[in-house]
Amino acid sequence: MMKSSVKMPQPPTPAHICPMDRTCSYLQQAGSELNVDPGILAVLEKPRKVVTVSIPVKLDTGEVEVLAGHRVQHCDVLGPYKGGTRYHPSVTLQEVSSLAMLMTWKCALLGIPYGGAKGGIAIDPNQYSVGELERITRRYTSELIKDIGPAVDIPAPDMGTSAREMAWMMDTYSMNVGHSVPGIVTGKPLSVGGSKGRQQATGRGVMIVVREALAQEGKPLAGASVVVQGFGNVGGAAALLLHEAGAKVLAVSNLSGGVFAENGLDVPALYKHVVQNRGHMGNFPGGELITNEELLTLPCDVLIPAALENQITEDNALQIQAQMVAEAANGPVTLVADQMLHSRGITVLPDILANAGGVVVSYLEWVQGQSYVFWDEERVNQEMEGLMVRAYHRVYETAQQRGIPLRLAAYTLGVGRVAQALGDRGLYP
Ligand SMILES: NC(=O)C1=CN([C@@H]2O[C@H](COP(=O)(O)OP(=O)(O)OC[C@H]3O[C@@H](n4cnc5c(N)ncnc54)[C@H](O)[C@@H]3O)[C@@H](O)[C@H]2O)C=CC1
Ligand SMILES: O=C(O)CCC(=O)C(=O)O
């Protein structure tokens, strides 16, 4: 949705927070809950293919910079690999591998016929011109040409990328193979076969899951107090849609800081302000400034981290005052913090459920493209809502039946489906 022009150095990921350890730990927990054969778990712990490519790019100054790009394909037992492409300074092979594994469980949980993958380049896109970004994206795509394809691995947007980059990827792939291949990416512009509703889909899915979870606790979404960290594609759409649904959005933030209003922010006005101010929240007349750290610990019904990984850690988990945390970002809560929130009775809606709206509409885009029939936005939203609501209730019921947290229930469903398919395909006796 909105690209920020704020340039700030990124703090390194603390050494004790390893994204792959977290994802593997949840996999192991789901495996023991389901009594999955250790051989199958050993297969699922490792990505099937890891590709790192060198991306030489001529900068506008005439200098050449050589970047590293990754694509990790975790598992394709249920269908083609699927997952976003991230441009962010924190990108590492470890991070991309963990995100690829999350995609496998997310697609399986939602019942969509995809495997899991993720890609990324460790750059701050705000530091590059549009021309440089185009050259980087095209070279990255060309380097991956033998590893991606509409029946093999289908990239999509993630942090730092959008429909624009998907159009460049599609064009580059199409030029390489000699004909137009819209199905090579999802999240592309409508003009080249994108789907209505994809841009807001992840945020809309977050809103739907939060609404269902609040309803389960007997609370309506209208009037619920919400805090959102991140105001990009996911956080921006989630805040706007929650506001539209009558929730009181107390605070939102992005890289530039945050704003808070005790009686709720006028989110559309803030959105306009941020666009006009090239990503800056400061000087917004309808709220007071707040830091990202303060925002995370505000008392509210629902806290929605929609930016980076590892935002809720053992250092701030005890200060979280939300009743519910909805993981719009991938991996915003560390392993230890997750246990701390659980023992404090705070409901955590796990990423593989809460942010699945994006890949669901990517799937619907792919379905429309395959059939050459394109739907109106109402139909896309309805189909997505149906899948999200059913997934939420499957997770909730599994958690109730097994007496386990929602995250483990979600993993149990996702891992169980993949393990079953592995067995049925004869890969494991
Ligand atoms: N784009 C998509 O369809 C999907 C994205 N996600 C996840 O959602 C998260 C956000 O992705 P997008 O919204 O697409 O990215 P984006 O690049 O559009 O927006 C990221 C937002 O986070 C803010 N941000 C960055 N660092 C921050 C910090 N330290 N503190 C506060 N805010 C900060 C940025 O200023 C920006 O507002 C990521 O974890 C991504 O993997 C998950 C599912 C699908
Ligand atoms: O839309 C997609 O294919 C992938 C979205 C994504 O990267 C994610 O859900 O984390």
C-alpha of residue 251 to centroid of ligand 2, in Å: 26
Give residue 426's pLDDT band: very low, low, confident or very high (50, 70, 90): confident
Tell me, what's the pLDDT at 423? 86
Question: In one letter, which amino acid is 200?
Answer: Q
pLDDT averaged over the chain? 94
The residues pairing with 324 across neighbouring beta strands, listed in sequence order, are 302, 347
Handedness of CA 51, 232, 308, 365 (dihedral sign): negative
Tell me, what's the pLDDT at 428? 60
Give residue 17's pLDDT band: very low, low, confident or very high (50, 70, 90): low
Pocket test for ligand 2, best of 74, 87, 98, 103 (most atoms within 8 A of CB): 103
Matching residue, tokens 């076969």: 193
Ligand 2 atom index nearest CA of 158: 7
Give residue 9's pLDDT band: very low, low, confident or very high (50, 70, 90): very low
The pairing of strands 248-254 and 257-260 is antiparallel
* Digit-coded pLDDT (tens) for 362-372: 999 999 999 99
C-alpha of residue 86 to centroid of ligand 1, in Å: 10
Q: Mean pLDDT lowest for which of 117-126, 152-161, 267-276, 420-429?
A: 420-429
Is any ligand 1 atom within 6 A of the Cβ of residue 381? Answer: no
Backbone angles phi, psi at 290, to 5 degrees: -150, 150
Report the nearest-CA residue for atom 36 of ligand 1.
Answer: 232
Which one of 118, 188, 196, 248 is the catalytic residue?
118
ipTM for the complex shown: 0.98
Tell me, what's the pLDDT at 186? 98
Ligand 1 atom index nearest CA of 198: 3
82 catalytic? Reply is no
Residue 182: HSE in the Cβ half-sphere, 13 Å Cα cutoff: 18
* Digit-coded pLDDT (tens) for 259-277: 999 999 999 999 999 999 9
Is any ligand 1 atom within 6 A of the Cβ of residue 255? Answer: yes
C-alpha of residue 218 to centroid of ligand 2, in Å: 31
- Inform me whether the pLDDT recorded for 64 exceeds 50: yes
Q: Indicate the pTM of the whole model.
A: 0.95
Name the percent of the chain lying above pLDDT 90: 92
Give residue 6's pLDDT band: very low, low, confident or very high (50, 70, 90): very low
Spatial neighbors of 326 by CB under 8 A, at least 6 apart, are 206, 209, 210, 213, 302, 303, 304, 349, 354
- Inform me whether the pLDDT recorded for 16 exceeds 90: no
- Asked whether 301 and 225 are in contact (CB, 8 A), the reply is yes
The 3-state secondary structure of 57-120, one letter per residue: EECCCCCEEEEEEEEEEEECCCCCEEEEEEECCCCCHHHHHHHHHHHHHHHHHHCCCCCEEEEE
- % helix / strand / coil in the chain, to the nearest 5? 45, 20, 35
